[in-house]
Amino acid sequence: MKILALNGSFRKNGNTEILLKQALMGAQSEGASVEIIRLTDYKIEPCRGCGLCLFRENVCQVQDDDVPFIFSKIDECDGMILGAPCYFLELTAVVKQLIDRCWILGHKTGKVRKPATVIVPYATRGWTPYVSLQSNILLNIMGMTKINEITICTQGISEVVLDQEAMDSAHEIGREIAAAAKNKDFTYKGDPGVCPSCHDWLFRILKDRETVECPTCGVRGKLSLRDGKISVTFEEKAWADSRFRPDVGYNHFTYHIAPSKDYFLRTKEERKLKIQKFKEYLNR
Contacts with ligand FMN by CB under 6 A lie at 9, 11, 14-16, 85-89, 121-124, 127-128, 154-155, 157
DSSP bridge partners of 153: 122
**In whole angstroms, what is the distance from residue 114 CA to residue 141 CA?**
12
H helices of the chain, in order, are 15-28, 52-55, 67-76, 93-100, 131-141, 164-183, 246-251, 260-266, 268-280
Instruction: Closer to ligand FMN by CB, 136 or 154: give it.
Output: 154
Instruction: Closer to ligand FMN by CB, 44 or 248: give it.
Output: 44
**In whole angstroms, what is the distance from residue 79 CA to residue 3 CA?**
5
Instruction: Closer to ligand FMN by CB, 131 or 179: give it.
Output: 131
- Between the CA of residue 106 and those of 26, 102, 110, what are the distances in Å? 32, 7, 9
In the complex, what is the shortest distance from the CB of residue 150 to ligand FMN, in angstroms, rounded to a whole number?
13
In the complex, what is the shortest distance from the CB of residue 52 to ligand FMN, in angstroms, rounded to a whole number?
34
Instruction: Closer to ligand FMN by CB, 39 or 53: give it.
Output: 39
In the complex, what is the shortest distance from the CB of residue 104 to ligand FMN, in angstroms, rounded to a whole number?
28
Position of minimal CB gap to ligand FMN: 14
In the complex, what is the shortest distance from the CB of residue 5 to ligand FMN, in angstroms, rounded to a whole number?
12
In the complex, what is the shortest distance from the CB of residue 257 to ligand FMN, in angstroms, rounded to a whole number?
33
Instruction: Closer to ligand FMN by CB, 155 or 187: give it.
Output: 155
Long-range contacts, stretch 228-232, CB < 8 angstroms, 24+ apart: 232/194, 232/203
266 Cβ contact list (under 8 Å, min separation 6): none
